[in-house]
Structure 1
Amino acid sequence: LVRGLDAGVAPCFDWAEVCSPRDPPRCEFNHLGVEFRRSSPRPPVDVLAHLSKMQNISVHFSKELIGKLKEKVTGGDPNKRASTFLSVLTHIWKKTTLARGLPDDEVTKVRLVVNGRQRIRPAVPDEYYGNLVLWAFPTMKAGELLQGSYAHVAQVIRDAVNEVDDAYFKSFIDFGETLKGEKGAELEATMPAVGDFLNPNIEFNSWLSLKFHELDFGSGAPCAFLPPGLPVEGLMILTPSCGEAGGVDVYMALERAHAATFQQVFHSRD
């Protein structure tokens, strides 16, 4: 607007138009313990001591490496497609589990954000301004994860994401309706706190669709856009590479011993 450019379609802020609960509400899925949990006092935690046990590292996926991972995820079938996100996550989940040395029967899961804009019916207007996201939790035993093919692990991830569909989103909206008033006061989001350790699990977030490189405040695009230090062990962020077109970088926090091992096994694709 300051530059006199066309602002395009005005944003829509009408939450009720997009996410109205059904009458009567129908909670068809269990959301307690998934998105929310009962509030309870947390024991005192020495946050600084916990943070000192973590190490922030980053790894680079070249365009060539991503292509090879996509071949493994599709099983070499030229008729199948795999996204960069899925291919990188499959590799990261395997190598993080290996670096942590988890026993074969240990259950490990990934927390993923699922965008509801393309899943809710009727479709959400493009101009709607707000977050419409929930989580998916692909889950495997460590032994199955490490011994399984990239194609198998990728399918587990796909299946978990596909379960967060229109019915699930509407069930969650209705769940929120049932918590109106004092009923929701005793609940809190199942988010990790600063200093928490997610091991044996990870949380994997993608910034690939955030167009930081198109920002221009008058002096051109930024040369880099990096996440700050990550204060939760097992938290990971996928970003476009600053140095290579088509490449990506993953920033993560791991326990120090596991970070060193991860960097040793990262480039193996078995």
Structure 2
Amino acid sequence: MSDDIRDTAPKGAIGRFLALPADSVPKTMFVAVTLCLLASMIVSSAAVALRPLQQINALKDKQINILQVAGVYDANVPVEDAFAAFEPHVLELETGSFTDAFDPTTFDDRAAAEDPATSVELDTDPAGIGRQAKFVTVYLLRDSAGEIDKVILPIHGYGLWSTLYGFIALEENGNDIYGLQFYEHAETPGLGAEVDNPRWKAQWNGKRLTDDTGTLQISVSKTVTSAGGDYHIDALSGATLTTVGVDNLVKFWMGETGYERFLANLKEGNV
């Protein structure tokens, strides 16, 4: 076949594409799509490769928050060593007793809340969580004599923009609050995010959950309720909905739908 015949022969799809000018629309789109695919593959690969490290960091951050809310965090002490003093237990909310059905070191509270087998859908949902796990992981801190010193309870509920996840630390009597701390949320910086402000968090220390009759009185509000200052936490300035969310979630978890039975067992010495 002569050179003239080869030059005029029909080209395949690839040949026709390669013959296009470099700045043609098809080639421009091809380069853009190819780069996007390569970038997404790199990002996905990095995310998969870093996931174990992210999980380790998330666990460490959670442990630091537990140490902080219990008032025993020391930056000079390795987190793993300090956290070893805490006893994790899986609590069955309905009975207020610990269960051996799950390993407390690996039990995933959030996964349990999403699994119909280990959670219930709420008809009344002041905390805005949708489903509530039947089991949660709680932490006990004992003193040198082996007696319970602090009880750390996980809490969560919806604020303005996000679900706030945190812990409340109670004294051994199950009624006096030692501290409250959130470790994850997406509330507005300078407003709802003031839940992280040390001055606001310091208010919780020494407050009480229930009065002498056992009635839940703790309140996060602008004004002191008739129960008195022992049960009052100041509202967050300029963050009404976040304040309402925190008030609701604390009352939800400290009430009959949450830890009420467990706290009763604790007060009676049955923990």
Task: Name the TM tier (shorter chain).
Answer: under 0.3
TM-score normalised by the chain length of structure 2: 0.24
TM-score normalised by the chain length of structure 1: 0.24
Structure of higher CA gyration radius: 2
